[in-house]
Amino acid sequence: MSWDDVEIVLTIVGLTAITLLTRGFFLVPEREPPMPAWLREGLRYAPIGALVAVVLPEIVMSQGRLIATWQDARLFGVAGATAWFVWRRDMLGTILAGTGTMLIFRLGLGW
Amino acid sequence: MNDSRARLRALVQHPEFARGAREMVGLALGIGAWGLVTGVAMVKAGLPAWAAVLMSLTVFAGTAQLAAAPLLASGAPAWVVLATAACLNLRFVVFSTQWRPYFGHLPRGRKLLLSYFTADLNYVLFMRRFPEPRPSAEQLPYFWGGVSVNASAWHAMSLLGIALAWHIPPEWGLGFAGTVALLGMTYTLLHDRATWLPAVVAGAAAVAAYALPLKLNMLVAIAAAVAVGVAMDQVRAQQRAAQRRASA
């Protein structure tokens, strides 16, 4: 094992520690960290914010810019997924409908 | 030993374990696709296969892995890699405040173990299942049921991605399956107007702040959603107070 390899292993150990540290930050300590009531209430909205923040840029941006065309396979994939969700409300179908529609437009039309 | 085995059996046989697993299965396809993409990307970034396997099995945080792999492969200093991962994981610090009312009373060792597995979708599903922030007996079985599916789908597909890295054409757009899974999740959370406005504002913020490094646009979006939510709660509380005054 070279020194580079050792460094990679140590960095990966550090990354695992960061996963544990961030996820347990306010959960693991014995004493409850002080936090105002309005903030605790407001954090109910954090999950939806996080989800939208991941999803929307993946759909409407490419290479760091807003897309300027509607001829993007992803938009049709989203339409397919949305239609399925409104119709049936099941997750698996939504994923299959969205990915399938996107692939039809990308592989079929080259968008 | 026998005692802990009995505890484990009781946990797995609890009906909420099955429910947690079942609700996660609906998303497993997306999680798997995402794991596959992460495995492929780590290898294509130039990381040796053994390091990709080690990272996949231990770090257990997709976005951090995706960002760390090319940095590691290019020989960036360790502190840069760690700082990047820490920024990408800041959202988990926010989430950890919300786990506390449910699991804060547990012994520290158990809390550490739980924390490790509190990935994004475990968090979202759990908060949807138990909106009331107080502990109950169903919560641990539900949590571990979801983790069992989430972690196995992730690890299996991530390892597959590492193995097949050079055989999967990028134009299949497999990452899109992960995005659609999260989109479906978003739809299930948008059940009332109380979350539509924060969601729209968060989306706009995430796009507007996209140029920020280290995916800090995610934190901007979360902050925007929380700010709008708090403002809405205030307005509603004032309206209720005004109605009470008017009717009195």
Residue A76 pLDDT grade (very low, low, confident, very high; cuts 50, 70, 90): very high
Distance of alpha carbon B138 from alpha carbon B4, whole angstroms: 18
Quick one: average pLDDT of B202-231?
88
Looking at residue B143, its pLDDT comes to 97
Interior CA angle at B77 toward B74 and B81, to 5°?
80
Predicted interface score ipTM higher than 0.90: no
Phi-psi region of A35 (alpha: psi -120 to 50; beta: other; left: phi over 0): beta
pLDDT band, residue A67 (cuts 50/70/90): confident
Considering only A3-12, A57-66, B186-195, which range has the smallest mean pLDDT? Answer: B186-195
**Mean pLDDT (whole number) for B233-238:** 88
Q: What is the pLDDT of residue A82?
A: 94
Is residue A96 very low, low, confident or very high in pLDDT (cuts 50, 70, 90)?
A: confident
pLDDT at B193 over 80: no
Burial class (CB in 10 A: 0-12, 13-18, 19+), A1: exposed
pLDDT higher than threshold 70 for residue B97: yes
Q: Select from A49, A73, A77 the Cβ nearest to the Cβ of B198.
A: A49
Which residue in B96, B118, B186 is closest to A52 by CB distance?
B186
- Cβ–Cβ of A26/B230 closer than 8 Å? no
Which chain B residues are within 8 Å of A103, Cβ to Cβ? 172-173
Query: Does B78 contact A27 at a Cβ distance shorter than 8 Å?
Result: no
Give the count of Cβ contacts less than 8 A between chain A and B: 265
Residue B30, pLDDT score: 82
Beta bridge partners of A62: A65
| Position B171 confidence tier, pLDDT thresholds 50, 70, 90 | low
Q: Report the sign of the C-alpha dihedral through residues B70, B44, B221, B115, in that order.
A: negative
| pLDDT score recorded for residue A44 | 80
Contact A26, B118 (CB under 8 A): no
What is the predicted pLDDT for the residue at A91?
Answer: 79
Distance between first and last Cα of chain B: 64
Amino acid at the residue B65: Q
pLDDT band, residue B1 (cuts 50/70/90): low
Q: Among A10, A47, A82, whose Cβ lies nearest the Cβ of B189?
A: A47
Measure in Å the smallest separation between the Cα of B70 and chain A Cα atoms: 12
The distance of Cα A22 from the centroid of its chain, to the nearest Å, equals 17
Query: In this structure, what token pair is assigned to residue B219?
Result: 């934190």
| Residues sharing a CB contact under 8 Å with residue B136, sequence separation 6 or more, in sequence order | B130
Predicted confidence band of residue B126 (pLDDT cuts 50, 70, 90): very high
**Between chains, do B173 and A7 touch, taking CB under 8 Å as contact?**
no
Q: What is the pTM of this model?
A: 0.80
Whether residue B207 and residue A60 make contact (CB cut-off 8 A), yes or no, is yes
* pLDDT exceeds cutoff 80 at A32: no
B116 chain-A contacts, CB cut-off 8 A: 19-20, 23-24
Distance CA(B97)–CA(A62), nearest Å, equals 33
